[in-house]
Amino acid sequence: MYQNTRGEILEKGVAIEAGVSGILGYILNIDPVKSRSLGHQNSALSFNAKVNLLTDLKFVPKEIGRQFQIFSEVRNKFAHVQHVDGFVKCFEIVDHKKYLLDSFAKAVPEGDEEIRLAVAFDMMTMHLGLWMNLILERSKYLKIQELKKTAVVEMARTFLKKNAPKEGSEEDKIFLQQIDVLINEIDQDADFMASVKEAVEAGEKATVEEKH
C-alpha cells in the first residue's frame, strides 16, 4: 500500500505547493505561472516563504502553519536525504512524530509504525488540502465583500454629489432601497461603516457647496 513512498511524497509536495501558489496568486491578483515570486524560476519564493506570506496575510492560523511546516520538512527529507526511504527513518530526523500520531492517527491500531506514520501523514496532507480550499473560498468571499462595499460607498458619493433628492421623493426611496439591499449583503465592520459615513458626508458637503 505504501510502496514508492519517495515518489508519492514528492508528488504531493508539488501539488500542495502549486495550491499555495495559486491561492496567493488569487489573493494578490498575480498570475502564478508568469510570476517571478510564485512561478518556477530560480527567483521564486520557497514553499516555506509562501506559507509564511499566507500566514502574514492572516489566512493561516498557528496550528495549520505547524502542519505546513511538518509537511515541508518531511518533503525535504525525502527529496534530499538519500537514506530516508520511509517514514520511520524520516521521523528519526524530523522532530514531530508524536504530534503527527496524536493528531492524525488516533484511530489507527498500534502495530507497524511505518504504516501508522504513513496514514497520519496522508491524513494531514488531506487536511491541508481541505484547508487550502477553505482559504480560497474565504478569499473569494472577501473579494466579493470588498466589491460590494466599494459599490455602496461609490453609489452614495456619486448620487449625493449629483443629486439633492427631496425627502420622501420616489427617487430618494429607490436609492435608499438599493443601498439597503447592498448593505444587508455585507458583513458590516467599523471601518466599512466609517467609510460609508465619510462618503455620505462628502456628498452632502459637495451638494451644499454647489448650492452656494
Rounded CA separation 186/188 (Å): 6
Specify the pLDDT at position 112: 85
The domain limits of the chain are 5-141, 143-211
Do residues 186 and 149 lie in contact, with contact meaning Cβ atoms separated by under 8 Å?
A: yes
Which pLDDT value is given to residue 186? 57
Q: Grid coordinates standing for 184? A: 444587508
Distance CA 11, CA 5 (A): 10
Model pLDDT for residues 135-188, shown as the tens digit of each residue: 888 778 777 777 777 776 666 666 655 555 555 566 666 666 666 666 666 555
In this prediction, residue 206 carries a pLDDT of 46
Contact 185, 148 (CB under 8 A): yes
Task: Give residue for cell 499566507.
Answer: 54
CA-based diameter of the chain, in Å?
86
Whole-angstrom CA distances from 31 to 23, 35, 135, 189 are: 10, 6, 18, 31
Four-residue CA torsion sign, 36, 42, 45, 47: positive
Condensed to tens digits (0 to 9), the pLDDT of residues 26-60 reads 888 888 888 888 887 777 888 889 888 888 888 88
Q: Answer whether 2's CB lies under 8 Å from 115's CB.
A: yes
Other C-beta atoms lying within 10 Å of the C-beta of residue 35: 18
pLDDT tens string 99-142:
999 988 887 778 788 888 988 998 999 889 888 888 888 778 77
Where do runs of H (alpha helix) occur along 81-189?
87-90, 97-104, 113-162, 170-184
| Spatial separation of the C-alpha atoms in residues 11 and 8, rounded to whole Å | 5
Query: The C-alpha cell of 72 is what?
Result: 515541508
Cα separation, 180 vs 28, in Å, equals: 30
C-alpha cell at 169: 421623493
Query: Tell me, what amino acid is at 131?
Result: W
Question: From CA 113, how far away is CA 168, in angstroms rounded?
Answer: 75
Residue 70 predicted with pLDDT over 70: yes
| 210 confidence band (pLDDT: 50, 70, 90) | very low
Q: What is the pLDDT of residue 2?
A: 46
Contact of 87 with 117, CB cutoff 8 Å: yes
Question: In the structure grid, which three cell numbers stand for residue 22, read together?
Answer: 495559486
